[in-house]
Amino acid sequence: MTFDEIRAWLVEANPEKLERLWLSADSLRHDTVGDEVYLRGLVEISNICRRNCLYCGIRAGNPKPQRYRMSAEEMVETARLAKKLGYGTVVLQSGEDGSVSAEEIAEIIRQIKRKTNLAVTLSLGERAEEDYITWFKAGANRYLLRFETSNETLYRAIHPPHAQGRYRSGSRIELLKTLRNIGYEIGSGVMAGIPGQTWDDLARDIALFAELDLDMIGCGPFLPHPDTPLGGVRSQESGVEEQVILDKHLPFKVIALARLVCPAANIPTTTAIATLDPVHGRLLGLSRGANVVMPNLTPACYRKMYEIYPHKAASGETPEETHELAVRQILELGRTPGQGAGTSPRFLKNATQI
């Protein structure tokens, strides 16, 4: 798919034509990754963050959230719950918590592997290469790091560098290559509708998914958080010509196009999509190219504190309820909850060639 074709789809408004886009993404999803929907248990292990990303509610500069880090025991217990519920993977996500050492995380990874043998996915932000290596050696399998936007000027504007670190925060695109070389399955993605993002930018983002040959692609709408610098900026008023405007179709266009450019990738229907449309969002994502759901298994007492954007959807009161809701929705669509780790076909193919 060419850049021009991607861009044309992004601005397409004709419902009949869009129906064609949804159908081709859904049929390609069926042919490449099948009808199983993989469940990834998301555990938000800490909201402590040293960064000041302009869009994110748990940025260091926001004094409002009460800060927490789950204990090692709580993390391992939650992984055991994921195992009990039938998951093949657990995703440990956090703010960029500089106060936790690489070795502490490595020990937790080892315990989770020993006690559950689940595939372990990390989403802990930007760290030194040696930390990523330590975690991979401890048994971590996958790393999620969204590059957020491929427009370097916009990226720098919304993503101030880490001030006192002993490494310079590099471009996330370079870090993704590093992570792949270490041996991780790599996942990335963007937010759609960031103030200052143009249609060309978003089309380039999607073309870059293909260039990076991603194993996993997670995308969602930008949702303003009132306690952040971007919280009060309406995209329509960014003053940028060709500003991406978020409407009800946009998040699904990004999912469908991600499927078309990376046919075998694992693509979640994200919580941000479900937050934008709590009734239909998750199901529409699954019908328009996605094959993964990431139910939030974070213990209830921490959930509210991990507020990267307000009113996060698709959660029951407890992890068990959240899980049941996801399974019900998958079955409603006539699909089946996936069994096992759900490793990306691209990764498996490459692994067998070595």
Using the Cα atoms of residue 205, residue 210, residue 211 and residue 212 in order, give the sign of their dihedral. positive
Per-residue burial over 195-219, b = 16 or more CB atoms within 10 Å of its CB, e = otherwise = bbbbbbbbbbbbbbbbebebbbbbb
Which segment (13-21, 64-72, 75-83, 216-224) binds ligand SAH by CB under 6 A? 216-224
Cβ(262)–Cβ(209) below 8 Å? yes
Q: Which residue in 29, 69, 146, 180 binds ligand SAH (CB under 6 A)?
A: 146
Question: What is the C-alpha end-to-end distance of the chain, expressed in Å?
Answer: 29
- Distance of closest approach, residue 193 Cβ to ligand SAH, in angstroms: 9
- Least Å from the CB of residue 156 to ligand SAH: 15
Please count the other Cβ atoms lying within 10 Å of the Cβ belonging to residue 80.
Answer: 15
281 near ligand SAH, judged by CB under 6 A? no
Within 10 A of 56 (CB to CB), how many other CB atoms are there? 21
Tell me which of 7, 127, 180, 225 binds ligand SAH, using CB under 6 A: 225
Nearest distance from residue 241's CB to ligand SAH, in Å?
Answer: 23
Min. distance of Cβ 46 from ligand SAH in angstroms?
9
Closest CA to 81 of 342, 319, 321, 315: 319
Which residue lies nearer to ligand SAH by CB, 47 or 116? 47
CA–CA dist 18, 86 (Å, integer): 36
Residues 6+ apart with CB under 8 A from 338: 36, 37, 38, 39, 88
- In the bound state with ligand SAH, the residue whose beta carbon lies nearer, of 123 and 198, is 123
Interface residue with ligand SAH among 55, 87, 184, 347 (CB under 6 A) is 55
Q: What mask of x and - would describe binding to ligand SAH in positions 3 to 42, judged by CB under 6 A?
A: ----------------------------------------
> Two tokens at 6?
């991607």
- Residues 71-110 binding ligand SAH (CB under 6 A) are 93, 95-96
Out of 272, 273, 293, 330, the only residue in the binding site for ligand SAH (CB under 6 A) is 272
Q: CA separation (Å) from 51 to 162, 172, 220?
A: 6, 14, 21
With contact defined as beta carbons under 8 Å apart, do 223 and 275 qualify? yes
Smallest CA-to-CA distance from 81 within 339, 336, 320 is with: 320
Question: Which of 41, 220, 295, 338 is the binder for ligand SAH (CB under 6 A)?
Answer: 220
123 touching ligand SAH, by CB under 6 A = yes
Please state, as a whole number, how many other Cβ atoms lie within 10 Å of the Cβ of residue 125. 21
- Out of 47, 87, 148, 158, which residue is the one contacting ligand SAH (CB under 6 A)? 148
User: Rounded distance, CA 293 to CA 326, Å?
Assistant: 7
**Residue nearer to ligand SAH on the CB measure, 65 or 95:** 95
Where does this chain touch ligand SAH (CB under 6 A) — which range of 61-69, 142-150, 252-260, 283-291?
142-150
Q: How far is the CB of 342 from ligand SAH (least distance, A)?
A: 20
Stretch near ligand SAH under the rule CB under 6 A, chosen from 28-36, 113-121, 219-227, 257-265: 219-227
What is the rounded distance in angstroms from the CA atom of residue 273 to the CA atom of residue 251? 7
Only one of the segments 5-13, 144-152, 251-259, 321-329 lies at the binding site for ligand SAH (rule: CB under 6 A); that segment is: 144-152
309 binds ligand SAH (CB under 6 A): yes
**Interacting residues of 80 by C-beta distance below 8 A, sequence separation 6+:** 115, 116
The site for ligand SAH (CB under 6 A) is made up of 55-56, 93, 95-96, 123, 125, 145-146, 148, 191, 220, 222-223, 225, 272, 308-309
